[in-house]
Amino acid sequence: MTTSAPNPLPYAGIRVVEFTHMVMGPTCGMVLGDLGAEVIKVEPLKGDNTRRLLGSGAGFFPLFNRNKKSLALDLHTPEGKEAVLKLIATADVVSENFKTETMQKLGLDYESLKKLNPRLIYVSHKGFLPGPYDHRTALDEVVQMMGGLAYMTGRPGDPLRAGSSVNDIMGGLFGAIGVMAALKARETTGLGQKVESALFENNVFLVAQHMMQFAVTGQPAAPMPERISSWGIYDVFSVKDGEQIFLAVVSDTQWDIFCKAFGFDDLKADPRLPSNNHRVRERAWLVPELRQRLAGRSAAELAEVFEREGLPFAPITRPHDLLEDPHLNATGGLAPITLPDGERAGQTAPTVLFPLTLDGQRPGVRLSPPRLGEHNAELLGALGYSEAQVAQLSGPG
């Protein structure tokens, strides 16, 4: 059962107006919304195209747009533009992840809006921070390829993107962190500022440990499948009935425990294996030997021993299996939302909550992902528009 974080949430009373789509910008708004902000998603009358994505994009809108309100307007009309400017005049934050020229043509760029509202914090989510690359069109794949992450994930000669939108999601997180810093600064200065977060720079931050390895040692980092591990045992093992399990033994104390638990007295006494560094050097024969010794045991049996002995292990889990994960369900890590679009519109589905606790509780779902224009009457009415004017601004139907 989902529990809400203690009230008030830390950003209750903060109003965010967002012009976002896909993942990066919506993630920023989701974070601020989960933490209590009123987040208003401004959409065209036809709706955010992300609502209609199929395949791997089908989860984007319902995941990253909870705890938000939807305001559908045609910003290319004088009336729609006037309404959104009235709304921004009441806002603390504007968030966007469109091309710079798109926001400029609409008069919704930072330089224009700060004249309207000097206290406004404006966060832009881009492909690159200002510089030689900022004219390029970026995607998560683009920056993973040019930023070293695909090289590190794949085998040599076979770059492979990570299996999640890591830069989009983390870029949105860093955008939210920037907003938090700017809100704190505004308490002192009374003024807003522009915050920028970018996919490429986020990706570089993710691979910074490998860059630093070279800076410190002069040795380039090898792709992860070909890396020289820092640990003697740190691998996926294929075991009984074709199952797989990840097993790790990362200290000399753990090696002693491991050998005792499985009766490997000969390995414990082997003069070639007295320390972790020695075991790293002997991996070429040691790991195949362990694979052979463990191959007849089931993954469940190995997991039981490793858990009992406090050794690191992990089952090889598919993402959809996590919907039934006992830990996530016992700790309130999943919560129901009502789906706003598609064939299952109106039905409930579990969503993953923000991965932290406040005073021992997870920030919960206050609002399911909104239906298109769901909050037009509420938001426009609060700005002084009549029912007839709301209907006109909301378009046909």
Residue ranges covered by each domain of the chain: 15-207+325-393, 230-316
pTM over the 0.75 mark: yes
pLDDT for 2 equals 43
pLDDT for 7 equals 62
Burial class (CB in 10 A: 0-12, 13-18, 19+), 292: exposed
Does residue 227 carry a pLDDT above 50? yes
The model's pLDDT over 141-171, given as tens digits with 9 standing for 90+, comes to: 999 999 999 999 999 999 999 999 999 999 9
The model's pLDDT over 267-326, given as tens digits with 9 standing for 90+, comes to: 999 999 999 999 999 999 999 999 999 999 999 999 999 999 999 999 999 999 999 999
- Topology of the domain comprising 230-316: formyl-coa transferase, domain 3 (3.30.1540)
Same fold, 15-207+325-393 and 230-316: no
Q: Please provide the average confidence, as pLDDT, over all residues in the chain.
A: 95
Structure tokens given for 71: 């305001």
Structure tokens given for 246: 């990840």
CA 230 to centroid of chain Cα atoms: 28
DSSP H or E stretch at residue 349: strand 348-352
Q: What are phi and psi of 121, to 5 degrees?
A: -100, 130
- Eight-class DSSP state of 5: P
pLDDT for 396 equals 79
* CATH class for the region spanning 15-207+325-393: alpha beta
pLDDT for 392 equals 96
Band of pLDDT at residue 60, cut at 50, 70 and 90? very high
Does residue 340 carry a pLDDT above 50? yes
Query: Order of strands, edge to edge, in the sheet holding 121-126?
Result: 68-72, 38-43, 15-19, 93-96, 121-126, 194-198
Active site residues: 168
CB contact burial 7-19 (16+ within 10 A = b; e otherwise):
eebebeebbbbbb
